[in-house]
Amino acid sequence: MSSPPLATTAPESDAHEATPPSSSSPPLCDNCVSDRPTPPNQTTKGELTKLAEIDVYISKPPTYPSTPSRLLLLLTGGTGLLATNNQLQADLFAQEGYVVVMPDLFGADPAPNSKTVEEIAAETGDSNSFLDLFKIKAAETAKSFMIDMWLARHTEEKVLPLIKKVLEEAKDEFADAVASGGGVYAAGYCFGGRYVLLLGQEKEVVSSGGDDEEANKAKTEGPWIKAGALAHATLVSTNDFVGLKAPVSVVSVESDPLFPDEVRTKGEDLMRESGVEHEVQVYPGVPHGFAVVGEYEDANIKIAQATAFDQMLKWIQDH
């Protein structure tokens, strides 16, 4: 049986596939591991603290707790917890009435942010010489290797339990917000986008109870969120849509090699067949990572960024 289509081929899938990741399909792009310039005159409003002994950034509405708010779990891309733009993204949702909990998915180990090939080429001067071209190619290879190794350190088996641990603690800490929204909401970007799908799944689990037949019966777990929204997700496979129960909104980039049309359309088919409420919007002419706070010179990208936020916000507000 052939493996399901993957948005990328990551190290965690190597155990199931003999072939290494293709260089034509990078596991993460520059926009996944590097922040755009922060928009001018913006400062973060939340605080860094801990939940369940895990570092988190928490941003609250200005009138909380006197005004009822909902609880939102925000899952970042590879730039991680301390990236100013990710914190500003959390603040945007907080301004709209959400208590936002953004966990450090990577244990103080954000994705490697090496120099871009363009910067290396500029430093070497004449990029047409054989030596300079060799340096550029070597830098590309080193960068890809570093990201592959980073992904191998942050697999689903490590990240998902961490998220669930923070989620359970947050539900106790902000029980009023959970009650106000009738559950927990989630928004995810790039790396974090896939985990919105995983949290929205219902799964059968079998616990080993020895000879106890009742204990050995399959039980269901999840979904862990009421509704979710994800933008330009990475590392998604079609299997991530199987068992999905929570309604989801998907922000996708046109012709995105990190979330290929084949994976997206098959995911839509699976959601439609299983009756999962969903919406999918494909944004043309924008780079992967565009929906995260960050400054762009192109006015069309700025407009798309604001539109994507409105799409995700409206979806969770309506659910």
Kind of pairing between the strands at 278-283 and 203-206: unpaired
- For the record, the structure tokens of 272 come out as 């439609």
At 92-102, the pLDDT tens digits run 999 999 999 99
Kind of pairing between the strands at 54-59 and 218-221: unpaired
Q: Is residue 116 pLDDT above 50, yes or no?
A: no
Q: Please report the sign of the dihedral spanned by the C-alpha atoms of residue 266, residue 269, residue 271, residue 277.
A: positive
Average pLDDT over residues 226-230: 98
Please classify residue 242 by burial: count the beta carbons closer than 10 Å to its beta carbon, then call 0-12 exposed, 13-18 middle and 19+ buried. Answer: middle
Count of alpha carbons within 13 angstroms of residue 115, beta-carbon side:
13
3-class DSSP assignment, residue 89: helix
pTM recorded for the entire structure: 0.85
What's the CA gap between 280 and 43, in Å, rounded? 31
Please classify residue 248 by burial: count the beta carbons closer than 10 Å to its beta carbon, then call 0-12 exposed, 13-18 middle and 19+ buried. Answer: buried
Q: What is the predicted pLDDT for the residue at 210?
A: 61
What's the CA gap between 132 and 120, in Å, rounded? 9
Give the least confident one: 79-83, 98-102, 133-137, 313-317.
133-137
DSSP type of residue 108? S
- Going by C-alpha positions, the residue among 85, 93, 88 that lies closest to residue 69 is 93
CATH topology of domain 11-109+154-317: Rossmann fold (3.40.50)
- For the record, the structure tokens of 95 come out as 């301004």
Residue type at position 309: F
Q: How confident is the model at residue 1 (pLDDT cuts 50, 70, 90)?
A: very low
Mean pLDDT, the chain, rounded, equals 86
Q: Are 67 and 94 in contact (CB under 8 A)?
A: no
3-class DSSP assignment, residue 314: helix
Q: Are 147 and 36 in contact (CB under 8 A)?
A: no
Q: How confident is the model at residue 10 (pLDDT cuts 50, 70, 90)?
A: very low
Place of tokens 């047409």: 128
- Write phi, then psi, for 152 (nearest 5 degrees): -65, -25
Residue type at position 87: Q
At 24-77, the pLDDT tens digits run 445 676 767 778 889 999 999 999 999 999 999 999 999 999 999 999 999 999
For the chain, domain boundaries: 11-109+154-317
What's the CA gap between 84 and 58, in Å, rounded? 13
DSSP 243-265: TB-S-EEEEEETT-TTS-HHHHH
